Structure 1
């Protein structure tokens, strides 16, 4: 998903769909939602009065502008009760809204920053939560089929901020949200691949490519190097597979190791079933999920990517 931050009035923004919000219990919308309501001749207010738009957390209401706005569709997403509002609510509202936008067939979407105004949240944190949730909600697993996907998906999201002086905070938050979410999705991609594809060699090469792109130091130890270092237990496990083992080391700020505290993350990356197919009951043990035994390694790879880019 392409992410951009734009300064302007959401009522004048050209997109397939624009997203505004509403707290539970609000009888008359204000702020950006109020501006959209006025442009629509009070139609959001009418839906509130009828009880069809209540502001419940994650609930969405779709309206058509019929030419009253440049955007043909308006989506109102609920933020829930004001007293319980926080960043988790922002993430849920953003995820539900982007899912509803995709279901409506929108390819280009613009949104305000939920919680950045009347919600009282730090603007950068709120923008990060909006972008994180939108990208994570839009994730699709890598396909092993030649068939085309039938699902609808948002291609671009513009985060619109009215006040020019707030743009640096929104841009900073949106950038952080994109980095974190894309790093999570990198780990998701690795875990999603079946074990005959996500071999130690494939995972190590993906990590090497990522490290080169973001500036991490990458070292991959081969079997002979592991034998020289006495990694007997690891090599014993690896004997259960005909795939060659790899020991992957990613380092961030390696050149500053003498002046910075050291934090070490370790992730297990077993890419085959070590327990024996005959020892598990498929319908109870969910044998197919054994491919996720390398999730720890995938999580560390994604985390190091985020650390490098958020520096």
Structure 2
């Protein structure tokens, strides 16, 4: 007969089993999805971007410009890569709403409804149909005329490039390591203003915003004993929201469009001394930097520019 072994080896193996079970339970508890704390917070306004702060700080105009926006479409044709749905687009389809809000927040423009013009006209016809069907003592219903626009704002999201730049870095020492990876995408927005009386394009701007994503992943891969291996992995990923990047690109385009219109005297400042404000000069300098350097022009280019006629000084600002 063999006697059961109850020596120190058996106790040690039992202790290892209990310790392994405890570690497994702890890892399972960490892996079980919990309700994120952000879900419990109430809804709030969309976060402001650096361009939003510049947009609302623009000096006041002499008179607001009435503008119409018929649409601001996604012209990229890009879809999210697998494993996402092939029918899900990479950028938002509601960019026209962002543009209308940016124009209104600037304090320079008065947007009029054109995207849902058919619905607006239907409601006006309903109101006219009610006129005369009320009692004799009821007052007549007066509907004012629709406000015409002097400027048409058009454009769209013209490009979305993914994986413009990717990279990473990692290190491991004695089984303990840390690695990081990043990826850069970019979205490009084009915006132009058109004189509805002549169809002449007054200003045209294009802005690009980088979308930055990164991942940090620590890990432990180490033998805690001759035959016992400990392996722990974690990770944190941060992705810039694409819709906020599109919003910032649109707001920057509206600011550049406004500054270019001031430069061409298409609209005017309430106080001409505001032309020297740091905000306007900063965006004006950025536009001048983007322009072609006169020294790089072919022979006769600078003379041709100096001999070019001055731009029209027609102002579209409402008094």
- Structure 1 length as normaliser, TM-score? 0.23
Higher strand share: 2
Higher helix share: 1
Computing the radius of gyration from Cα coordinates, the structure with the larger value is 2
- Structure 2 length as normaliser, TM-score? 0.23
